[in-house]
Amino acid sequence: MPALLNRLTRQLAAKGVKGAANMAAGLLKKRGHLTAEGTLTAQGKKRQSLGAGGRAKARAAKYSGKKASDYKYNSKTNRAVKK
């Protein structure tokens, strides 16, 4: 199981989502990060290589219109905040 899929599955399960593994796979397929066979696409490999902190910074930058380097990652909350 790719690390990206494993992490999303654990996050959904922690929120109490039933069928977290199937939902996680569906979400990643919808986003174009996972193929129908369950392997990572090129985009999925890129997201996985960012790690949790990189993905959080990328999310924050996307919504604010700023650069990802303007943020720092808080691993306790899985959020990126402005430096």
Q: What pLDDT digit, counting tens, does each position of 40-67 carry? A: 999 999 999 999 999 999 999 999 999 9
Instruction: Quote the percentage of the chain above a pLDDT of 90.
Output: 98
State the amino acid at position 45 in one-letter form.
Answer: K
In terms of residue numbers, what domain contains 8? 3-82
Contacts of residue 41, defined as CB under 8 A and 6 or more positions apart, other chains included, come to 32, 33, 34, 35
Residues 64-71, mean pLDDT to the nearest whole number: 96
- Closest to 57 in 3D by CA, of 69, 45, 75, 44: 69
Q: How far is Cα of residue 20 from the mean position of the Cα atoms in its chain?
A: 14
Percent of the chain exceeding pLDDT 70 equals 100
| Counted domains in the chain | 1
pLDDT of residue 47: 95
Per-residue pLDDT band for 1 (boundaries 50, 70, 90) equals confident
Q: Which of 42, 53, 58, 45 has its CA nearest to residue 5?
A: 45
